[in-house]
Amino acid sequence: MTATTDGSTGALPSRADPAAGTLPADHAVRPPGDGPAGPREAAALAARRAADHLLATQDAEGWWKGDLETNVTMDAEDLLLRQFLGILDEDTARAAALYVRGKQREDGAWDTFHGGPGDLSATVEAYVALRLAGDAPDAPHMARAAAWVREQGGIAATRVFTRIWLALFGWWPWRDLPELPPELIFLPKWFPLNIYDFGCWARQTIVPLTVVSAERPVRPAPFALDELHTDPAEPNPPRPHAPLASWDGVFQRLDDALRRYRTAAPRPLRRAAMNAAGRWIVERQENDGCWGGIQPPHVYSLIALHLLGYDLGHPVMRAGIEALDRFAVRRDNGARMVEACQSPVWDTCLAVIALADAGLPADHPGLVRAADWMLGEQVVRPGDWSVRRPGLPPGGWAFEFHNDNYPDMDDTAEVVLALRRVRHHDPERVEHAVARGVRWNLGMQSAGGGWGAFDVDNTSALPNRLPFCDFGEVIDPPSADVTAHVVEMLAVEGLADDPRTRRGIDWLLREQEPDGSWFGRWGVNYLYGTGSVVPALVAAGLPAGHPAIRRAVAWLHRVQNADGGWGEDLRSYREAGWAGRGDSTASQTAWALMALLAAGERETAAVERGVAWLAATQREDGTWDEPQFTGTGFPWDFSINYHLYRQVFPLTALGRYLHGEPFAAKAR
């Protein structure tokens, strides 16, 4: 893939119809350099530039996709997988090392988001990856990294998943890792800790890891890692047991019991469980060879299947290995970055909404092509979600190019909102697709009235207590941002008074924080939650004067930065004092503006200052710089920089400022 100036990838055709222009003629603006522009003129110029750039980056097939940047563990684990399978080549190692080296901090560590603190597990994995690529341990950058690791407690203090990767090569003993028996696959769906109690991303990862945990493979290590231990003679000192009365104590005892079971497990039962896990994995491989369109289950599934006897030439393995390279983005300097997943459906629906709200004609060829592509991506077969909704017909959309097993409520809601912005040549086809999507989203409502991302009522707290699950969020309870997007979509579809929508609204009102904000599960953080909820509540009929809306507006006024923008650091997930605080960013400023505009604040100084900040910080090519991570996979534990967020959300906010209200509100 070829990276563009804003980090998007794929073919970059010229505008679909240059004669049609971008924004309507009534958006005449003062030419650059022709005297000072007022807020509206500055916003119109910025919107025009942003729309031109966005249209120029649309793929010929109709989709958009920006780079999805996470952290160097993706690159390190890609190299470790290739080393384990015996397919690591010199070019891949060299290109990956170039990227990993470029992300090292001055103190020798690696962080997991821009400006964040050093992370021990990420640093250990990055260090090992560079050793695989040939970097000597006494090289200055490697010595700094090793010293930092030892200061933080060494390998023994890393997360379980890091130590699993090290165990694959004998750098860590398997006996010192928590047990994860493959018999887990046989637990009935009503039993605590069955695989469907886990969020889909955790479920897809844990099932193959049960095979790996049972087999305990070790490949010969190409070098030692003594320099990463605080005491190489005793790398894992004994740890005291937690009190039995605590949950940690209970699960430590459960792990002890599972260790004893390992030695006594009936071999036929163990083999049957292994085979069942293997079938489960193969059945969930996507048509392009990946698993769920995300990297973690992809790499562990390949390892598990290989341990179950699938050789590298087997079609399942061959397709999986070939798919690995589709997660890689090559930089201009030759560096190779591995994406944790790819976001074309999400990016495309957000781009359509942004362009339409900025005034692009509803029948513009670019929007129609995008609608055609999105219509073709609708998931029309059951997936794992149907375990708890067996009678619900399919009809959702997933996040990625290939992911028929795990459509999500968030993408489905936003795709419907995007399709409603387009005047399509086959309206009957659109109506049919929208009806299926709405029906599916309504059927996926959780008992309390909210919506999770992938599953219904995935709320058991037990999976988070397992010693194995120290890698981030492993369940999928309803969240304010997803629920808000679904409520907004239902309101646009004329269902604001439907009892199910009203239950969603009530859930959102109950979830408001005391300071007036809403928590952001899939974006950082309270700015994302508030920027999602306020427009949804207004679209659903709550007046701008409603107390919940006024509290949210007051909070946004309080946290606006002195420069006129808004920003929030990921530390807000751990420290309440960081809520709404951070360097101003284009995407987070846009979220705040979207909420304020929905609440009727268009003529306020806060909105004008925010719009002015967006206009003043835009680059000449119509883009914005945004190294900050404003998306999340797991709050704090796994952060995301969506490279298209800096483009689509500012354009949406500018368009709504210019037009006074979202196009969706006018469309029905």
Q: Left if phi > 0, otherwise alpha if psi is -120 to 50, otherwise beta: which for 127? A: alpha
| Token pair recorded at residue 383 | 């997936």
In contact, 442 and 226? CB cutoff 8 Å: no
φ/ψ (deg, to 5) at 358: -85, -5
State how far the Cα of 46 lies from the Cα of 42, in Å rounded to an integer. Answer: 6
State how far the Cα of 519 lies from the Cα of 527, in Å rounded to an integer. Answer: 8
Q: Left if phi > 0, otherwise alpha if psi is -120 to 50, otherwise beta: which for 7? A: left
Degrees, nearest 5: CA angle 371-644-4: 100
DSSP state of 69: E
Q: What is the 3-state secondary structure (H, E, C) of 545-589?
A: CCHHHHHHHHHHHHHCCCCCCCCCCHHHHCCHHHCCCCCCCHHHH
Q: Which of 67, 410, 476, 569 does the annotation list as catalytic?
A: 410
Place of tokens 């005793």: 234
Residues with Cβ within 8 Å of 549's Cβ and at least 6 positions away in sequence, in order, are: 534, 537, 538, 542, 543, 599
Q: How many residues does the chain have?
A: 668
In contact, 6 and 643? CB cutoff 8 Å: yes
Residues with Cβ within 8 Å of 390's Cβ and at least 6 positions away in sequence, in order, are: none
State how far the Cα of 609 lies from the Cα of 657, in Å rounded to an integer. Answer: 12
In contact, 380 and 369? CB cutoff 8 Å: no
Measuring CA to CA, which residue among 40, 71, 157 is closest to residue 608? Answer: 40
In contact, 627 and 584? CB cutoff 8 Å: no
The gap from C-alpha 143 to its chain's centroid, in whole angstroms, comes to: 33
| Token pair recorded at residue 406 | 């795990």
State how far the Cα of 432 lies from the Cα of 452, in Å rounded to an integer. Answer: 24
Measuring CA to CA, which residue among 668, 640, 637 is closest to residue 120? Answer: 637
DSSP letter string over 481-528? HHHHHHHHHHHHTT-TTSHHHHHHHHHHHHH--TTS----SSBSSHHH
Measuring CA to CA, which residue among 29, 66, 61 is closest to residue 46? Answer: 29
Q: What is the 3-state secondary structure (H, E, C) of 283-345?
A: HCECCCCCECCEHHHHHHHHHHHHHCCCCCCCHHHHHHHHHHHHHEEECCCCCEEECCECCHH
Q: Is 410 a catalytic residue?
A: yes
Q: Measure CA of the first residue to CA of the last residue in the chain; give whole Å.
A: 39
DSSP state of 590: H
Provide the 3-class DSSP secondary structure of residue 180: coil
Measuring CA to CA, which residue among 232, 108, 132 is closest to residue 172? Answer: 232
In contact, 133 and 79? CB cutoff 8 Å: yes
The catalytic site residues sit at 410
